[in-house]
Amino acid sequence: MIRPAVLTIAGSDSGGNAGIQADLRTFHAYRLHGCSVITALTAQNPFKVSAIHLPPVDFVAAQLDAVLGVYNIKALKIGMLSDPEVIDVIADRLAKHPEIKKVVDPVMIATSGARLISPAAVERLKEKLIPLATLVTPNLPEAEELGGDAKALYDKFGVAVLVKGGHRIDGRAIDVLYEGRDEFLFELPKITSPVSTHGTGCTLSAAIASELALGKDLVQAITGAKSYVHKAIANSYHVGENCGVLDF
């Protein structure tokens, strides 16, 4: 029996909270083999990113070629991509693998409001990568950057959209999924004063990809993934002075 594998295409977090490290930790929790394509090396901790190194485009391509078609990749997730040429390479390779479920987390705008990728890269995401997705998972500012709410983005790109925090009711953030026919709302109880929430976006998209790799449909996958992240936040623990990490 060949077991399923999951692929993460994202940046490396030297602190181990987010990015590739969070994704592989999530795949492991689901008892799935994780493959990785590293699109950036970062020097960071929960408080700041102090340096970023981007590998050459041909090296990103070589990583993709090494795993696609070799491992039994049933699903993948894509994190922040800052180079339009890298987006081209990834989109061209993934277009040849329609059988793989694809979760695109369009990391464009930080919680602080700072822009993380260039306008040119955003346009390339819209043109080449998002239309290949099984699911796109923007937060509210990213959804606005892409063109609207979940239904508007579905109408624009023709793919299912999960807007994180897409409905705010009485101060609550409720995620909204639109998949072309119905709208689904997802909410879990708020965890007060968690040790850490760093890496929750990466972890959620990795968990959705894991659920899809196990054969779940979108609603089941998102429900299971949100439960996983909720538990990870609740179980987060300190690994340094005022420095925490999600658990599972």
Residue of 201, 223, 224, 244 with catalytic role: 201
Our answer to whether residue 148 is catalytic in this structure is no
Taking the CA atoms of 202, 205, 208 and 212 in sequence, report the sign of the dihedral they define.
negative
Our answer to whether residue 197 is catalytic in this structure is yes
| pLDDT of res. 112 | 47
Our answer to whether residue 35 is catalytic in this structure is no
Residue 111 has pLDDT above 60, yes or no: no
Residue of 77, 164, 216, 226 with catalytic role: 164
pLDDT digits (tens, 9 = 90+) for 142-152: 999 999 999 99
Residue of 202, 223, 224, 226 with catalytic role: 202
Contacts of 93 (CB under 8 A, 6+ apart): 61, 64, 65, 68
pLDDT digits (tens, 9 = 90+) for 40-90: 998 988 888 888 899 999 999 999 999 999 999 999 999 989 899 999 999
Our answer to whether residue 15 is catalytic in this structure is no
- Whole-angstrom distance, CA of residue 86 vs CA of residue 163: 25
Residue 223: Cβ within 10 Å count: 18
Q: What is the pTM of this model?
A: 0.95
